[in-house]
C-alpha cells in the first residue's frame, strides 16, 4: 500500500495517482467530507474493484466526482459542459444549486446520460454527481480529466475514514492501494444528497452539512422531504448511505435522551464492565455512583453542530479501538443543522456490534 505521509501532495504524486486510475487501479483520496476510494467511472472493471474491495452490494449506487474547471476570465464556471457526458437534462434549479454550492459537500441526482455505466448506478436510470472542494481532490480530478467514483474508503457499512491513516488501517495487507494524504477532512460527514431527477421539485435524500434552509436562503429553491410529493419513497432513487445500517462501529452503540444516561445504562444489563459515555461540553459531569460495578469514562464532545460533525467519525473510530463494551452517545438536538449527524448516528446504532457486517448487508 503506497502513500505519501505529507498532507501536501506533490505534482509527481498526483501524476502517479492519475496514472493508477487510468490503468484501472484504485486511489484513496481526501475530500472535504470523508476519504473516498476512487476508481475510473468509465471503467467497469475498476468499478467492480471498488465493490469487491469494500464488500459493497453492486445494487448500491456510487457517486461520480468531477473537477471544477479553472475559471480563467469567466464570471461563472461552465458546468453544463462538465456535466454533459453524464446527465440527460440540466434544469434551471440544478444550475442554481451548482453555482451556489459547487465545489462543495452537495451531491445532485439527475437522469443519467445513456453513456453512463449501469455498474455505477446500480442499474437505475439516475446518476449522482458532486464536485468535491478539497484541493487534493480537485487537482487529481482536473489532471485525470474524467469522472471518478469514490465511495468512502472503508469496508461497507463501517465507520467512514476522515484521515489517511484510517484508510491504511482499513485495508492494510488486503488491498494494493495508493493513498493520497490531504490531512483531516474538514466537514467530516458525507455530502447532502438532493434528487433532481423528477424534474419538478428537489427532494432531500440524505442530510448533510448543507441544509434545506441554507439552500432556500441562497437559491430560493424549496427542498422537499421524501413523501411530501409522492405517495411513498419507493420510487425515489437509491443513493449512497441510505441503508438502515451504516457508519457502524464493532462496539455496540446506543443513543440516550437528555438527562437519561443513568436510564440508558440500566437498559443494558449485559454490559458489565466498561462503558464510554459521550457528553456535551456544555453539560456538567455525570453522577454515576449508582453503577459502581460499571467502569464508566466520559468523553467530552462539542455542542457546536459543525465541530461535532467534523469529529464524529474520528470519535467513533477511536472509541471502537479501545475495547469498550458499550458506547453511549447523546441524542443530537432538534434542528436541521443536526439532521446529518442524527442520520449517521441512528444508522450507526442499528448496525453496531459484532454482527454489524451482517446488519449492513440487510
Could you tell me if 67 and 141 are in contact, meaning their C-beta atoms sit under 8 angstroms apart? yes
The whole-angstrom separation of Cα 72 and Cα 37 is 30
Residues 114-120 have a mean pLDDT of 95
Domain count for the chain = 2
Q: What is the pTM of this model?
A: 0.91
CATH number for the domain that contains residue 128: 3.90.870.10
Which DSSP letter does residue 169 get?
Answer: H
Q: What is the pLDDT of residue 285?
A: 59
The strand ranges marked E within the chain are: 2-3, 27-30, 35-40, 63-65, 106-111, 126-130, 148-149, 178-179, 192-195, 202-206, 223-224, 253-256, 274-280, 295-301, 326-330
Are residues 184 and 265 part of one domain?
no
Are residues 150 and 299 part of one domain?
no
Could you tell me if 163 and 98 are in contact, meaning their C-beta atoms sit under 8 angstroms apart? no
Residues 262-283 have a mean pLDDT of 78
Going by their DSSP bridges, the two strands 126-130 and 202-206 should be labelled as unpaired
Q: What is the pLDDT of residue 73?
A: 54
Are residues 193 and 322 part of one domain?
no
* 47 is a domain residue: yes
Question: Which domain does 275 fall in, by range?
Answer: 253-360
Q: What is the pLDDT of residue 76?
A: 72
pLDDT in tens, 344-356: 999 999 988 876 4
Q: Is 55 exposed, middle or buried (CB count within 10 Å of its CB: 0-12, 13-18, 19+)?
A: middle
Which pLDDT band, with edges at 50, 70 and 90, does 357 fall under? very low
Which pLDDT band, with edges at 50, 70 and 90, does 272 fall under? low
Which DSSP letter does residue 116 get?
Answer: S
Which pLDDT band, with edges at 50, 70 and 90, does 274 fall under? confident
Are residues 220 and 77 part of one domain?
yes
The whole-angstrom separation of Cα 242 and Cα 26 is 24
Higher pLDDT, 289 or 108: 108
Is residue 217 predicted with pLDDT exceeding 90? Answer: yes
Domain final residue pick, 183, 206, 235: 235
Residues 68-84 have a mean pLDDT of 78
Q: What is the pLDDT of residue 362?
A: 39
Q: What is the pLDDT of residue 245?
A: 78
Q: Which of 190-194, 260-264, 297-301, 350-354 has the lowest mean pLDDT?
A: 260-264
Cα 318 versus chain centre, distance: 18
Complete DSSP assignment for 68-84: PPP-TT-SS--HHHHHT
Q: Which of 22-31, 134-143, 275-284 has the lowest mean pLDDT?
A: 275-284
Q: What is the pLDDT of residue 260?
A: 83
Q: What is the pLDDT of residue 287?
A: 55
Amino acid at each position: 500500500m503506497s502513500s505519501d505521509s505529507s498532507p501536501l501532495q506533490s505534482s509527481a504524486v498526483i501524476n502517479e495517482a492519475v496514472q493508477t486510475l487510468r490503468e484501472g487501479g484504485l486511489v484513496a483520496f481526501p475530500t472535504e467530507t470523508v476519504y473516498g476510494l476512487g476508481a475510473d467511472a468509465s471503467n467497469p472493471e475498476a468499478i467492480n474493484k471498488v465493490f469487491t474491495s469494500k464488500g459493497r452490494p453492486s445494487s448500491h449506487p456510487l457517486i461520480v466526482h468531477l473537477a471544477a474547471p479553472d475559471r480563467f476570465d469567466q464570471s461563472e464556471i461552465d458546468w453544463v459542459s462538465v456535466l454533459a457526458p453524464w446527465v440527460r437534462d440540466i434544469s434551471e434549479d440544478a444550475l442554481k444549486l451548482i453555482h451556489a454550492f459547487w465545489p462543495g459537500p452537495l451531491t445532485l441526482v439527475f437522469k443519467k446520460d445513456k453513456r453512463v455505466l449501469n455498474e455505477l448506478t446500480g442499474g437505475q436510470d439516475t446518476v449522482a454527481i458532486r464536485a468535491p472542494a478539497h484541493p487534493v481532490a480537485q487537482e487529481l480530478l482536473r489532471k485525470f480529466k474524467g469522472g471518478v467514483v469514490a465511495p468512502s474508503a472503508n469496508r461497507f457499512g463501517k465507520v467512514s475514514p476522515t484521515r489517511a491513516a484510517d484508510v491504511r488501517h482499513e485495508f492494510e495487507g488486503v488491498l494494493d492501494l495508493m493513498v493520497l494524504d490531504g490531512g483531516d477532512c474538514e466537514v467530516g460527514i458525507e455530502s447532502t444528497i438532493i434528487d433532481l431527477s423528477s424534474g419538478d421539485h428537489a427532494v432531500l435524500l440524505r442530510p448533510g452539512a448543507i441544509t434545506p434552509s441554507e439552500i432556500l436562503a441562497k437559491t430560493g429553491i424549496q427542498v422537499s422531504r421524501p413523501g411530501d410529493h409522492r405517495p411513498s419513497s419507493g420510487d425515489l432513487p437509491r443513493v449512497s448511505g441510505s441503508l438502515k445500517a451504516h457508519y457502524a462501529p464493532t462496539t455496540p452503540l446506543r443513543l440516550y435522551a437528555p438527562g437519561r444516561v443513568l436510564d440508558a445504562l440500566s437498559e443494558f444489563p449485559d454490559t458489565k464492565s466498561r462503558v464510554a459515555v459521550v457528553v456535551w461540553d456544555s453539560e456538567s459531569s455525570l453522577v454515576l455512583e449508582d453503577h459502581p460495578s460499571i467502569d464508566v469514562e466520559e468523553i467530552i464532545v462539542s455542542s457546536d453542530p459543525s465541530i461535532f460533525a467534523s469529529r464524529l467519525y474520528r470519535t467513533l473510530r477511536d472509541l471502537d479501538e479501545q475495547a469498550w463494551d458499550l458506547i453511549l452517545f447523546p441524542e443530537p438536538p432538534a434542528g436541521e443543522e443536526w439532521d446529518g449527524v442524527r442520520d449517521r448516528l441512528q444508522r450507526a446504532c442499528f448496525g453496531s456490534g459484532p454482527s454489524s457486517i451482517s446488519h449492513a448487508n440487510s
